[in-house]
Amino acid sequence: MGRKEVLTGKAKFGIFGDGKELPQLAMARAFKNGDFRSGYYRDQTFMMALGLLQPKDFFHGLYATTDMEKEPMSGGRQMGGHFLTYSLNQDGTWKDLTKQKNSSADISCTAGQMPRLLGLAQASKVYRKEKGMDNAKFSDDGNEVAWGTIGNASTSEGMFWETINAAGVLQVPMVVSVWDDEYGISVPAKHHTTKEDISKIIAGFQRDGDDKGYELLKVKGWDYTALMHAYENASDIARQEHVPVIIHVTELTQPQGHSTSGSHERYKNDKRLEWERDNDCNKRFKEWILESNIATSEELDELEKRVKRTVREAKKEAWTEFLEDNISTKKRLVQLLDAVAAKSPNKTFLSKIKNDLIAVEEPTMKDLAVASRKALRYLLGESSAERKALIDWTQNFLTKVQPKFSSYLYSPNENRATNIPAIAPTYDQNAENVDGRVILRDNFDQLFQNNPNALIFGEDSGTIGDVNQGLEGLQEKYGSTRIADTGIRETTIIGQGIGMAMRGLRPIAEIQYLDYIFYAMSSLTDDLATLLYRTKGKQKAPLIVRTRGHRLEGIWHSGSQMGGLIHLLRGMYILAPRNMTQAAGFYNTLMKSDEPALVIESLNGYRLKEPRPTNLGEFQTPIGVVETIKEGADITLVSYGSTLRIVQQAAKELLEIGIDAEIIDAQTLLPFDIKQDVVKSVQKTSRLLVIDEDVPGGCSAYLLNEIVEKQKAYRYLDSAPQTLSAQSHRPAYGTDGDYFSKPNAEDIFEKVYGILHEANPDDYPKLR
Ligand SMILES: Cc1ncc(C[n+]2csc(CCOP(=O)(O)OP(=O)(O)O)c2C)c(N)n1
Ligand SMILES: [Mg+2]
């Protein structure tokens, strides 16, 4: 029936769970309150079996109804077949997750559910081990299992293997089901899997007497008794022993093709098609019911009829509900158009718009917006009350409708990161000057003391206390669960963070160097950055990603790819502190908020001296606020991170020849300068240069856009606004490589001088 809705044009796309139903029933039986699912688009039966999804909800998902009450899976933001449960109350606070069955919000990217699954499972382990944590709403002594589902073809993805290895190492309560129908859309197993059998190639993960590992189970997808046993067994092993389990469910089918985009007759031969008809799990389940005398054939026929009727009614109701608001809104708009047409010299054109709209029997919000906005063009210059009414209506309509599609990119709640107030660091009169990394370390010490649910993990973060000693000694103090080493596997480090943050922990996931964050980019951009948005505020993952970057040396240790990051990670906060005190303050702020962020410490700043604050763990660097670090009258220089120190150097040299630059530290790139302070500086100096070490047109272009267009600084400029960035290539190694790849003090001096020369060649004659 769902398929038909797409073929008749009511829905755009449909993807269904057919052929995979039976193992999902078995999984649902083993799934307990507090457990989490991280799965993919085939899991509709599982969701329905647990009462988490109703037939009507499913049709609303197909139609993309924007009302969350009607389309509870995403309010129309995701295609149907993407499932979730609600972890949050309306005000963003946690529900009691131990009292409900939980499904983390799906994403379309195949295997993208795997890294998050690792973290969801690890949370149980952390809660069981760490008795001092606040687990009230999240865990009953770590007895919760995280259940993953994945298609056979998607096990080819790197994310699958990285997750499987990491969960084996960590020994977490994770049960992964592989739904194996021997295809990935049209492509058969021989192109996906060595030996065409995932069980054969994961055999080495099997635990044995000597080594910890996995419990591996293989079961046929049409064999209900075997499935029930497998799932009960898996649940016990994972729940009690915290040993991960993989269940390879074989001999599944895909009766109507992958999705509504194509039919499987195109790529399966007659023999396979016949086998699928004979062995479809529903068909064999029915045979088993009859053989076992659980029900009679008549009873099952009756049941099928009843189910069909229920689904048909759900479909009809959903379509009526999808349309009802638009139909009443259309009536009102037609009245307004009629009224404006009656008086206007453009009556013919306006009547046509009105009649065309009347002819649309199943109007979308787009139809309504197009009609009203086009009509206004024919009313230019008229001043009737009817025109005013149409303008007001259009304005109200757009204001009402836009949030349906755009809300919840960031939290609207009280503890939104930008609402956390600034608290300045305080200093003794003779404050000691210490290495920046000491400030970070001592602040982290306080932070872990103050936040029992906080933990940090990454490559070399545990025993040695990170590669720059910002966590020195903390593992000894807080234990190896809270201050932990991980394998070299950036994607699942982020996955650990996402999953644990979704279960009430406050993880800080450390990516050793900024240049290596790109391994984890998919999980960051597809999963973490979209979570609040794609769930319309029903799930959150307040994960802090800690990394270090900018200016060190060489192609892979001095990247500053901020343009890429700020564009891919909308939905997160991106902070580039100039020193370790600012960085520490950001961590303190973020711990008070419930949103995800990326903090990039300045790689060459750990050994620079900073005065030691007295209120470590307390002071808070505000998010979205720039800081003027030198006042000046002649030009505004905006920069951030390591580059800022070079800007300061250049500014000193400029002052020697009488050019007084104002320097502003952007410091929070997403969001940038919400109080619009930079334009006030430009108003004073009337010149603007943005300097960073990203590629040309990268973050500097974004900042220019923010300042010139959004803050309207163009009104005050007497010189062309400019950017100064690194070369387009990656930075070359060595002192000279750095000097000739990234903006240096001479570049900045000459660029500023050039701007003043152009404005006033008499005072500033040509330099060279
Ligand atoms: C990263 C990524 N690549 C490609 C796709 C397009 N795609 C969607 S489903 C699919 C096949 C998945 O097959 P399988 O994992 O066996 O699951 P099945 O649909 O057979 O249950 C592909 C290639 C995607 N969604 N994500
Ligand atoms: Mg498949």
Give yes or no for residue 581 CB within 6 A of ligand 1.
no
Exactly one of 229, 242, 557, 757 is catalytic; which is it? 557
The ligand 1 atom nearest the CA atom of 179: 21
Under 8 Å CB-to-CB from 531, ≥6 apart: which residues? 105, 498, 502, 539, 540, 541, 571, 596
Distance 154 CA to ligand 2 centre (A): 8
Query: What DSSP line would sit under 669-687, residue for residue?
Result: EES--TT--HHHHHHHH--
Give yes or no for residue 154 CB within 6 A of ligand 1.
yes
The ligand 1 atom nearest the CA atom of 157: 1
Q: Are 528 and 477 in contact (CB under 8 A)?
A: no
pLDDT in the model for residue 552: 85
Best CA proximity match to 172, nearest among 261, 223, 241: 241
Helix (H), strand (E) counts: the chain: 26, 22
Q: Residue of the nearest CA to atom 15 in ligand 1?
A: 151
pLDDT in the model for residue 262: 80
Note the helical H segments in 471-616.
474-478, 490-501, 521-522, 531-534, 562-568, 580-592
The ligand 1 atom nearest the CA atom of 108: 25
pTM, 2 dp:
0.97
Note the helical H segments in 490-637.
490-501, 521-522, 531-534, 562-568, 580-592
First to last CA, the chain: 75
* Cα–Cα distance, 607 to 395 (Å, whole number): 55
Distance 182 CA to ligand 2 centre (A): 5
Q: Which ligand is nearest to the CA of 184?
A: 1
Q: Residue of the nearest CA to atom 25 in ligand 1?
A: 109
Give yes or no for residue 184 CB within 6 A of ligand 1.
yes
Q: Which ligand is nearest to the CA of 44?
A: 1
Q: Which ligand is nearest to the CA of 185?
A: 1
* Cα–Cα distance, 202 to 156 (Å, whole number): 12
Q: Which two tokens stand for residue 683?
A: 């108003």
pLDDT in the model for residue 260: 87
The ligand 1 atom nearest the CA atom of 155: 15
* Cα–Cα distance, 416 to 403 (Å, whole number): 18
* Cα–Cα distance, 598 to 613 (Å, whole number): 23
- Going from the C-alpha of 389 to that of each of 307, 333, 379, 727, the distances in angstroms are 48, 10, 12, 54
Q: Which ligand is nearest to the CA of 156?
A: 1
Q: Residue of the nearest CA to atom 18 in ligand 1?
A: 151
Distance 107 CA to ligand 1 centre (A): 11
Across the chain, which has 768 residues, the per-10-residue mean pLDDT values are 93 93 98 98 98 97 96 96 97 97 98 98 98 97 98 98 98 98 96 98 96 98 98 98 98 92 91 97 97 97 97 98 96 98 97 98 97 98 97 98 98 96 97 98 98 98 97 98 98 98 98 97 98 98 97 90 97 98 98 97 96 98 98 98 97 98 98 98 98 98 98 98 97 96 98 98 96
Give yes or no for residue 42 CB within 6 A of ligand 1.
yes
The ligand 1 atom nearest the CA atom of 111: 1
Query: What DSSP line would sit under 436-460, residue for residue?
Result: HHHHHHHHHHHHHHH-TTEEEEETT
- 718: DSSP letter: S
- Does the active-site annotation cover 557? yes
Give yes or no for residue 706 CB within 6 A of ligand 1.
no
* Cα–Cα distance, 749 to 530 (Å, whole number): 41
Under 8 Å CB-to-CB from 307, ≥6 apart: which residues? none
